[in-house]
């Protein structure tokens, strides 16, 4: 059927869904490279003043400050490692839910924490209104917001419970939970047994209490 000026344009076909295994592999690799690199920098910062003193006889206050800087970097690396390990949690969600394309994501604001950035977003669904505000954190602990979300994203999960967002291209993976857990409680209470069982399988039925990047005041 031909479409003219008075005929509504057909909806655009969504892009090809990313390969889940490749998405998880890319984020595991990101974590695997992040930690050794930080540890290497830490070792260099700690070793430089010692080597400068013993080999060159140089005793400088600036070199002395390298050691505390290295220790601080190590502490922050451990923080990011402990609270950035969301890839395994995302994998559970992706095993329980299929990826569905959502045409638009609106980033409302972001909040810096020492553990990583927390993004407040709204994932729109075609034909539906009242999408809840969600908190999103990068599964591998990155801070920056990715490009390409204005053209839509892939989502696996159930918005009142939470889920996983994959940016087209397949390398940016985010874990999502409702920004106001109590406010979305009625939607969860209205879920049928099948939805509830799937959310339990993905471990999305509880408030994210110990996720420091989502903890109030963090």
Whether residue 133 is found in the same domain as residue 187: yes
pLDDT recorded at residue 8? 43
Whether residue 91 is found in the same domain as residue 168: yes
Whether residue 131 is found in the same domain as residue 25: no
pLDDT recorded at residue 18? 87
Q: How far apart are CA 77 and CA 7, in angstroms?
A: 56
Whether residue 94 is found in the same domain as residue 105: yes
Whether residue 115 is found in the same domain as residue 182: yes
Whether residue 97 is found in the same domain as residue 189: yes
Q: Is residue 8 domain-resident?
A: no
Whether residue 44 is found in the same domain as residue 119: no
Measure Cα distances from 192 to 99, 196, 198, 207 in Å.
20, 6, 10, 19
Q: How far apart are CA 41 and CA 48, in angstroms?
A: 11
* Closest to 142 (Cα-Cα) out of 174, 94, 120, 166: 174
Measure Cα distances from 77 to 37, 72, 74 in Å.
10, 9, 5
Q: What pTM, to 2 d.p., does this model score?
A: 0.76
Q: Is residue 115 domain-resident?
A: yes
Q: How far apart are CA 12 and CA 151, in angstroms?
A: 11
Q: Is residue 9 domain-resident?
A: no
Question: Tokens 């984020």 map to which residue?
Answer: 27
Task: Compute the C-alpha angle 197/123/199, nearest 5°.
Answer: 10
Whether residue 124 is found in the same domain as residue 177: yes
**Helices marked H in the chain:** 20-55, 61-64, 66-84, 87-96, 185-189, 193-201
Q: Is residue 13 domain-resident?
A: no
Q: How far apart are CA 215 and CA 209, in angstroms?
A: 7
Whether residue 136 is found in the same domain as residue 97: yes
Q: Give, to the nearest 10 degrees, the angle between helix 66-84 and helix 20-55.
A: 160
Q: Is residue 1 domain-resident?
A: no
pLDDT tens string, the chain, 218 residues long: the values are: 443 444 444 456 667 888 999 999 888 888 777 777 777 888 887 777 666 666 665 566 666 777 778 788 777 777 667 666 688 889 999 999 999 999 888 899 998 876 678 899 998 877 666 688 999 998 887 788 988 788 889 999 999 999 999 998 778 899 999 998 999 999 999 999 999 999 999 999 988 754 555 554 44
pLDDT recorded at residue 12? 63
Whether residue 172 is found in the same domain as residue 206: yes
Q: Is residue 61 domain-resident?
A: yes
Indicate the residue among 62, 84, 106 that finishes a domain: 84
pLDDT recorded at residue 100? 93
Report the domain count for the chain.
2
Indicate the residue among 41, 58, 84 that finishes a domain: 84
Give the structural domain span for 205.
Answer: 87-214
Whether residue 94 is found in the same domain as residue 74: no
Indicate the residue among 32, 50, 84 that finishes a domain: 84
For every residue of 56-120, DSSP letters joined together read S----HHHHTHHHHHHHHHHHHHHHHHHH--HHHHHHHHHHS--EEESEEEEEEEEEETTEEEEE
Whether residue 69 is found in the same domain as residue 112: no
Q: Is residue 15 domain-resident?
A: no
């Amino acid at each position: 059927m031909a479409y003219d000026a008075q005929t509504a344009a057909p909806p655009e076909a969504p892009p090809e869904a990313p390969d889940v295994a490749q998405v998880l592999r890319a984020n595991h690799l990101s974590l695997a490279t992040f930690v050794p690199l930080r540890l290497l920098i830490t070792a260099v910062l700690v070793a430089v003043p010692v080597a400068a003193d013993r080999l060159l006889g140089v005793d400088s206050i600036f070199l002395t400050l390298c050691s505390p800087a290295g220790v601080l970097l190590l502490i922050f690396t451990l923080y990011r490692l402990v609270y950035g390990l969301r890839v395994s949690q995302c994998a559970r969600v992706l095993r329980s839910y299929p990826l569905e394309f959502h045409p638009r994501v609106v980033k409302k604001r972001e909040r810096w924490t020492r553990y990583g950035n927390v993004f407040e977003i709204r994932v729109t669904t075609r034909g539906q209104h009242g999408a809840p505000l969600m908190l999103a954190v990068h599964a591998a602990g990155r801070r920056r917001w990715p490009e390409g979300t204005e053209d839509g994203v892939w989502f696996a999960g159930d918005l009142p419970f939470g889920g996983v967002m994959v940016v087209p291209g397949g390398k940016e993976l985010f874990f999502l939970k409702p920004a106001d857990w109590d406010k979305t409680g009625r939607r969860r209470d209205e879920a049928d047994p099948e939805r509830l069982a799937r959310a339990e399988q993905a471990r999305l039925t509880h408030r994210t209490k110990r996720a420091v990047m989502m903890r109030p005041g963090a």
